């Protein structure tokens, strides 16, 4: 079995963006004042969906960006073969880790990320590319502090060169605690679980074509009130999706 190292797999800057994007985006909604509350909890459905949409759908961070970046990795893996067979990479298993900190617009973010790539084959025929990572973030600004951890796993099939689309099956789990320093910013903790099924991504545009995902978000606000919401995302192509929350509420998403 021949094993060649793919140079793209060692691109730390690209991978760090994939790993950190969703976690960082979860902190941003907490900086936005929203007076929509419910009788049972200080975290309304609208506020929860704002967190979810920024974490999952935002075009500058979150899972849409993660999917596009992962598709780029899969595309690069094929392109770097330069005419050789993809099966030459069967058995490839690469790990990496990186940590550090940076400050942007008054917000300091410390991160610790570990990742793994595996090309899974059956009898030397590539079946899917597995990408997994876990990350931890500590965020501090004049409005809040936050601790965040995320775990994600992608299974990307459609590796055959004749296939027009990558097919993603993905799990993303996040847990975070935001502690406010001001009256304008809410304090709360959240747990998000996201699972996608057969999300198709064009190999030409690297944009989502179709597919579905389920998600839940739950946690407690600063007063100890529990909240929990669940829903289904249907990707419709053309950078659009519909999020239907259990109970009937529907939100149109675009990026």
pLDDT in tens, 146-200: 888 888 898 999 988 889 999 999 998 888 888 888 877 677 888 889 999 999 9
Query: CA-CA distance, 110 to 27, in Å (whole number)?
Result: 13
Measured between alpha carbons, how far is residue 188 from residues 91, 105, 152, 199, 207 in Å? Answer: 43, 23, 22, 31, 33
Locus of tokens 């978000």:
217
Residue with tokens 């079995």: 1
Region of 72 on the Ramachandran plot (φ > 0 left; ψ -120 to 50 alpha; else beta)? alpha
- pLDDT band at residue 5 under the 50/70/90 scheme: very low
CA 215/CA 80 separation, integer angstroms = 35
Please write the tens of the pLDDT for every residue from 21-45.
555 555 544 444 444 444 345 677 8
pLDDT at res. 44: 78
Find the Cα–Cα–Cα–Cα dihedral 60, 231, 227, 36, rounded to 10°. 60
Dist. CA 22–CA 202, nearest whole Å: 22
What's residue 26's pLDDT?
A: 53
Among 187, 181, 148, smallest CA distance to 47 is for: 187
First to last CA, the chain: 43
Q: pTM value?
A: 0.79
Question: What are the distances in angstroms from CA 99 to CA 7, 26, 102, 149, 179?
Answer: 21, 19, 10, 14, 23
| pLDDT tens-digit readout, 189-245 | 888 899 999 999 999 998 999 999 998 988 888 788 888 989 999 999 998 999 999
Q: Three-state DSSP class for 68? A: helix
* CA–CA distance, 5 with 77 (Å, rounded to integer): 10
């Amino acid at each position: 079995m021949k094993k060649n190292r793919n140079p793209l797999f060692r691109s730390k800057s690209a991978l760090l963006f994939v790993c950190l994007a969703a976690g960082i985006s979860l902190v941003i909604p907490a900086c936005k004042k929203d007076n929509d509350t419910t009788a049972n909890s200080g975290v309304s459905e609208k506020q929860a969906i704002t967190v979810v949409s920024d974490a999952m759908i935002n075009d500058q961070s979150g899972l849409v960006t993660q999917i596009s970046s992962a598709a780029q990795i899969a595309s690069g893996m094929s392109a770097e073969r330069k005419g050789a067979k993809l099966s030459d990479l069967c058995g490839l298993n690469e790990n990496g880790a990186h940590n550090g900190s940076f400050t942007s617009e008054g917000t300091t973010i410390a991160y610790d990320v570990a990742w793994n790539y595996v090309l899974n084959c059956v009898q030397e025929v590539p079946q899917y590319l597995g990408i997994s990572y876990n990350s931890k973030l500590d965020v501090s600004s004049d409005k809040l502090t936050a601790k965040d951890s995320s775990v994600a796993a992608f299974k990307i099939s459609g590796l055959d060169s004749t296939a027009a689309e990558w097919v993603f099956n993905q799990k993303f789990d996040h847990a975070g605690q935001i502690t406010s320093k001001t009256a304008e910013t809410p304090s709360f903790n959240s747990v998000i679980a996201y699972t996608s099924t057969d999300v198709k991504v064009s190999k030409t545009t690297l944009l989502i074509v179709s597919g579905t995902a389920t998600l839940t978000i739950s946690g407690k606000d600063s007063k100890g009130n529990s909240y929990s919401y669940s829903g289904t995302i249907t990707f419709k192509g053309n950078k659009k999706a519909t999020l239907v929350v259990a109970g009937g509420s529907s939100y149109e998403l675009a990026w």
